[in-house]
Chains A and B, each alone.
Chain A
Amino acid sequence: MNLGLLTTADKILSGFIMAGLILAYVLLWGSESSASAEYAEIEVNGKHVRTLSLDRPGRYAIHGRLGESLIEVKDHQARFVASPCQGKQCIHMGWQHRTGAFAACLPNRVTLTIAGGTRQWDSINF
């Protein structure tokens, strides 16, 4: 292409097009988590029992195999705050807020999975 044939208007237009393409590429391919999580899915023994909106703070009792697990939603995050298991590993897992993140009380068969946004991870090695 002979750039000498381009008018000033062509060059300005080409510049805008290139900038637009770069911006589109970054927005579509570059960001890892463009949409934030919206809710926590609660399952007991592999069966979905409740969806908790991360916009609605509160403490929610979930009945599992051993008894009640207590899940807290606050500041767009969710966590276990009490569970009838011995190890309390579910509580130690702390706040979860990213789509795909999860915490579980395996003895009580209760799991909490953050959902509704863009997954940053396909799987978490733990």
Chain B
Amino acid sequence: MPFWNSILLSLVALLLVTGCSDTDREAASTRFMVMGTLVDIAIWGEDKETAEKGFHLVEQTMHEINATWHAWRPSLLTRINQSLANDRSISVTSQQLSLIRRAKDLSVITNGYFDPATGALSLLWGFQQDDLPTGPPPDEKAIKAILSSYASIRDLDIHGNTISTLNKNIRLDFGAFAKGYAVDLAMEKLKQVGIRNAIINAGGDLRAIGTHGHRPWRIGVRDPRNPGKGNLNGGGILAAIETRQDESVFTSGDYERYYIYQGKRYHHILDPRTGYPSRDFTSVTVIYDNATDADALATALMVAGKAHWRTVANAMHAQSVMLIDHDNHVILTPTMQKRVRFLKQVSKPEIIAP
């Protein structure tokens, strides 16, 4: 082989290796606060103008959902709750009804482990306010009084666009659901303007479409107990997940909204059966095909605990689930085992099929 042919071949090969590096094109990103959390958006492969338009659409959509479904500031939801408490029916739009109907369906599917009609419990625990409560936890008698009313979204009657109930104790709170719904709605808006590669992350409620150029989107899953402790293997990141085309990665945990009283942690994910915060898991991560259902699923799995999480996962056809308990013991479904890469030393994960 002549010398110059070798040189030419090497130059061509070098071009192939370097030519399309993703580092040439960074994703446009922004961040804003809404729904009591930080919303993080990344868009890849679009010009600045389109990306800015996308950011605006997402922000606008999420503010609208927040204003409509806010649980304690004057909103459609507070009007609904007031009407139901006063034995009156109330009419809503078809789009608003779609959220209520899906929440009711999911409560039935999860056998009540997800039930957004327990707003009275959240109020009693002090989680229906901008600032976190400081304790002490509510009186046991008050909790039992609420539980004895058996308030459930399944008691909601829907006729046409009108909702009513015979159970006046229903107090809807879509805190564990509206963010997922908002993420789905916002993502559809991005698709409508032609954006094909994006991430919307509302405080751990994340949906990703497309890719970051030639590679998948890379998601870091935060360590529930050491969120910021630096080490060479990834800082406060416990594990990595790469998304495929259109997926939602949702994490619910006892570290999101909580307070410590006399050394004990009380968090915001309340078990509708006991009236107390769920106990078994510090964090649950799921990969699912849409954000709305993923939000309810992650909450239901937290509440269902070790005894019943498989029932919930089966009912929701959830294949990719990761659960972490208070001893940092990790449970993975076989599908999740193939998707997750741990960056920190964890005890050998237990692999359990749903």
Contacts and interface: CB of A to CB of B under 8 A. Distances in A.
Interface of A: 5-7, 9-10, 13-14, 17, 20-21, 24-25, 28-29, 43, 45-46, 77, 79, 85-87, 89, 92-98, 101-104, 106-107, 109, 111, 113, 118, 120-126
Contacts of B212: 122
Given A93-B228, A96-B235, A113-B31, A123 B259 contact: no
Interface in B209-224: 212, 217-222
A65 B220 CA distance: 30
Given A17-B6, A17-B10, A94-B227, A121 B38 contact: no
B206 A125 contact: yes
Interface residues of B, number: 59
Interface stretch (B12-20, B102-110, B299-307, B330-338): B12-20
A124 B251 CA distance: 10
Nearest to A34: B23
A125 B235 contact: no
B262 to A, nearest CB: 16
Contact of B132 (A29, A86, A120): A86
Contacts of B134: 86
Interface in B35-54: 36-38, 40, 42
B152 interface: no
A67 B337 CA distance: 45
Interface of B: 1, 3, 6, 9-10, 13-14, 17-18, 21, 23, 27, 31-33, 36-38, 40, 42, 130-134, 199, 201, 203-204, 206, 208, 212, 217-222, 226-230, 234-237, 240-241, 249-251, 253, 255-259, 285
Q: Is the interface of A mostly helix, strand, loop or mixed?
A: mixed
* For the complex of A and B, 6 pairs with smallest distance between CB atoms: A94-B228, A121-B220, A126-B222, A87-B132, A17-B10, A123-B201
B2 to A, nearest CB: 9
A14 B17 CA distance: 16
A28 B228 contact: no
A28 B19 CA distance: 10
A10 B132 contact: no
9 contacts: A24-B14, A85-B132, A86-B131, A94-B227, A98-B234, A122-B218, A125-B206, A125-B241, A126-B222
Q: Is the interface of B mostly helix, strand, loop or mixed?
A: mixed
B330 to A, nearest CB: 15
A126 B227 contact: yes
Contacts of B218: 120-122
Contacts of B204: 125-126
Given A14-B6, A29-B21, A125-B241, 14 more contacts: A6-B1, A9-B3, A20-B10, A21-B10, A43-B31, A86-B131, A94-B228, A104-B38, A107-B130, A121-B219, A123-B199, A123-B220, A125-B221, A125-B249
Nearest to B257: A87
A93 B223 CA distance: 10
Contacts of A6: 1
B33 A93 contact: no
B325 to A, nearest CB: 18
A110 to B, nearest CB: 10
Nearest to B11: A17
Contacts of B237: 98, 121, 124
Contacts of A17: 6, 9-10, 13
